Structure 1
């Protein structure tokens, strides 16, 4: 009753002034809540994000940025093996803003790196507003795109939250935050698939090669051009793309080689792309794009028709070709890259970077390992799943093989996490040596604990260890099978780790 009387005594002017004074508080709370929702989590959620974040300091490398045409049109591992540089696919959907991708990878690009942009046509013409499809992904509770949001400058965040986010998305973020009491899930462990690094094909770098063909429903002959160019058929470079060029200018000033090329397009049966009705106008627009890039000293590789394929290559959209045709397209693209940039041609003596790059990524990863379970056998090989949840091969290892993982060089280290235990613990190892057994020096968290034959060793852990235990092996020798005339394997190897176990008694591993 007192509250009602109090409000009755307010004049309209007082009420308006009070609302005006409260407006900044309400607005600040709105921005804080949505920003909290979109920036939750600390680690990358997707492989491409992890490759970009943890490759900082590794150079030279090639980063490919585009929509999904590159995911299906380029074999990134084929390109990596040819140029002998790591190749990272930072690509998703052709409607997602290029500026957000560039912000996410800017810190990782350094002098000597190459940025390749096979952009879909719509990325040259898309309006400045963010598409609903992208906002759907951004506000999804799985947080897969929080990495991109966290890399936005604050002014861009405010623009997104206040000017680009419709109420339908904002209320979802607000509701989710309020419902959880602002205690949104923080990712303590990585969710990106670390084991994907070991795959022997383009998927190890973020590509796709295993989608089954799916046919579109019946389409009009003009549909391909409408699909790849956008239904508006705009022929004007957007303000957003001009801003992207300004960002690329800043990246180029750091010594990054920036290359553009045209997107892959593909016919479907008698539904053709780049029809005769379109060709003359499209050539004018293509020339406008090329001239604009030349003004910024950026190269455009090839002609857009060089990357147009027949219906035998059709996968499931006019931008997606089959893996077999992606191999052909990659070979063609490599030729264009080398012709225009002779410095990219690799030396014959340069070793393939795949294993070394994978190790670099994992070493830079802030792994939050699960505590290793007592008396549980942990097999370490290519096919066993989940061992990476409790074991991190830090350095000095080759890629896991069918039954084990070989050391590489004269030092190798691994990390495990210990549960809170009061009793003495032993680390039991199982494996085999190459070119004769030896007594290997073992250090735990930098402290030497002795010399052991690792083929069947039980090593007592020093008392008072921290939860994270780093175990280092220092071998007396390491030699390649090739140097002994046994095979063409030129790795300097010594010990193949097959399994380990943490126990309370000094018992050997029985496999």
Structure 2
């Protein structure tokens, strides 16, 4: 090789190295800016505000959307001398990230109840499109609560065509006064919910019709609950479940009680094949027991008729909610979750906390509004 060729090769190598270093620097800069500019929590969700600032001791219900319909969390809280709040959202979100969020925001003396949909036990660490594209932006408490490696997983799962506009939007929201109107509207909405006595359940703006969604109607209840018709369904991620329990064990070590209970379901054949449910439930109970957690009750006790279903087998009507709540209460009492005395604050403290975090004046409420009461 001639000296000129060697010189040209060296120049090309140096150029390639410089380009690689520049690309690495640009990527690191983008990642750093994305993480730093991510919206603060709590965001615009009442349930997030409750998780951050509701007074204690609290009864925190965490799962998917089935719990929003299936349990009267405020009533459970009052019966247990606690402020009942629900932070549940969607059955397609990441259970490990839910555990990290609980570790960050559950306080000593709180009790966490997890009526998890069955998909959480099967794929507890899945990064679904629903979670990455909808849940993470809508509920910034997840991103703010998870460790760096999990933030990088989310960013890697986000298409660049979505991540770049999100970064610009988040940077723009950081400009003085830009995000204030949205948060003021959120605070006003929270005040309406508090004035209505909503201690834990953010009432949906609409109640689903009593008609199954197409994706549910095409399946039986059992097929829907256990994803039996999903093609190429991956095997259960039991090690992922153990990682979730390890995170929750850290919360328990700080004085947070955590129990698992069955989800509330309604359908004709949800658990009709008992032979299929028994080994699945036994395996889950055994894994929970390894980490010292209890699974309270039997799933069949929270299985209601098809006539009580709304738009999915996990969404039930008010009558079913009252029945499931009545069945769950003695299980929670027997587990020792009744607090020794009434809560020491008012739910209206959520408004003061949200206003303080965002530099907003707290809305005025009558003094009796938001009082934490017991049965």
What is the TM-score with the length of structure 1 in the denominator? Answer: 0.62
Other structure's SS at 1:274 match: coil
1:398 matched to which residue of 2?
A: 368
Closer, same or farther in 2 for the Cα pair 1:303/1:123, shift >3 Å? same
Deviation track 1:245-292 (CA, whole Å, cap 9, x = no partner) reads: 11011011112211101111111xxx532243xx31321011000011
Give the length in aligned residue pairs: 353
**CA RMSD after TM alignment:** 3.2
Question: Equivalent residues in 2 for 1:318-467 (5 A)?
Answer: 318-339=313-334, 341=335, 343-345=336-338, 353=343, 356-367=345-356, 391-392=363-364, 397-399=367-369
The question of 1:153 aligning with 2:147 is answered yes
Shift of 1:390: 7.1
Where structure 2 has 5 or more consecutive residues not aligned to the other structure, the ranges are 1-7
Shift of 1:145: 1.8
Closer, same or farther in 2 for the Cα pair 1:391/1:165, shift >3 Å? closer
Question: Equivalent residues in 2 for 1:52-451 (5 A)?
Answer: 52-55=51-54, 58-126=55-123, 128-138=125-135, 143-161=137-155, 163-174=156-167, 176=169, 183=175, 185-187=178-180, 189-190=183-184, 191-192=186-187, 193-195=189-191, 196-200=193-197, 203-208=198-203, 211-216=207-212, 222-230=219-227, 231=230, 236-267=236-267, 272-276=269-273, 279-339=274-334, 341=335, 343-345=336-338, 353=343, 356-367=345-356, 391-392=363-364, 397-399=367-369
With 238-247 and 251-260 compared, the bigger mean Cα shift is at 238-247
Q: Which structure has more RCO (C-alpha within 8 Å, separation ≥ 6)?
A: 2
Q: Which whole-Å CA distance do the structure 2 matches of 1:138 and 1:346 have between them?
A: 32
What is the TM-score with the length of structure 2 in the denominator? Answer: 0.82
Q: Which whole-Å CA distance do the structure 2 matches of 1:41 and 1:64 have between them?
A: 23
Closer, same or farther in 2 for the Cα pair 1:128/1:148, shift >3 Å? closer
Q: Which whole-Å CA distance do the structure 2 matches of 1:197 and 1:149 have between them?
A: 26
Preserved CA contact (<8 Å) 1:45 1:147: no
The question of 1:30 aligning with 2:23 is answered no
Shift of 1:89: 0.2
Select the structure that is richer in helix. 2
Shift of 1:333: 0.4
Deviation track 1:290-327 (CA, whole Å, cap 9, x = no partner) reads: 01111111111111111111012111101011011101
Q: Which whole-Å CA distance do the structure 2 matches of 1:42 and 1:145 have between them?
A: 8
2:5 matched to which residue of 1?
A: none
Shift of 1:98: 1.8
Shift of 1:32: 2.5
Shift of 1:62: 0.9
Q: Which whole-Å CA distance do the structure 1 matches of 2:213 and 2:91 have between them?
A: 21
Shift of 1:369: 7.2
Q: Which whole-Å CA distance do the structure 1 matches of 2:161 and 2:124 have between them?
A: 20
Q: Which whole-Å CA distance do the structure 1 matches of 2:349 and 2:59 have between them?
A: 16
Deviation track 1:24-47 (CA, whole Å, cap 9, x = no partner) reads: 21111221343245x124543211
Preserved CA contact (<8 Å) 1:72 1:207: no
Select the structure that is richer in strand. 1
Shift of 1:359: 3.5
Q: Which whole-Å CA distance do the structure 1 matches of 2:53 and 2:210 have between them?
A: 35
Preserved CA contact (<8 Å) 1:72 1:326: yes
Q: Which whole-Å CA distance do the structure 2 matches of 1:79 and 1:150 have between them?
A: 29
Where structure 1 has 5 or more consecutive residues not aligned to the other structure, the ranges are 1-7, 371-388, 401-407, 409-511
Shift of 1:346: 6.0
- Rg comparison, structure with higher value: 1
Closer, same or farther in 2 for the Cα pair 1:43/1:302, shift >3 Å? closer
Closer, same or farther in 2 for the Cα pair 1:307/1:157, shift >3 Å? same
Other structure's SS at 1:88 match: strand
Other structure's SS at 1:365 match: helix
Deviation track 1:333-389 (CA, whole Å, cap 9, x = no partner) reads: 0021122x2x33467xx55x59x321433343334677xxxxxxxxxxxxxxxxxx7
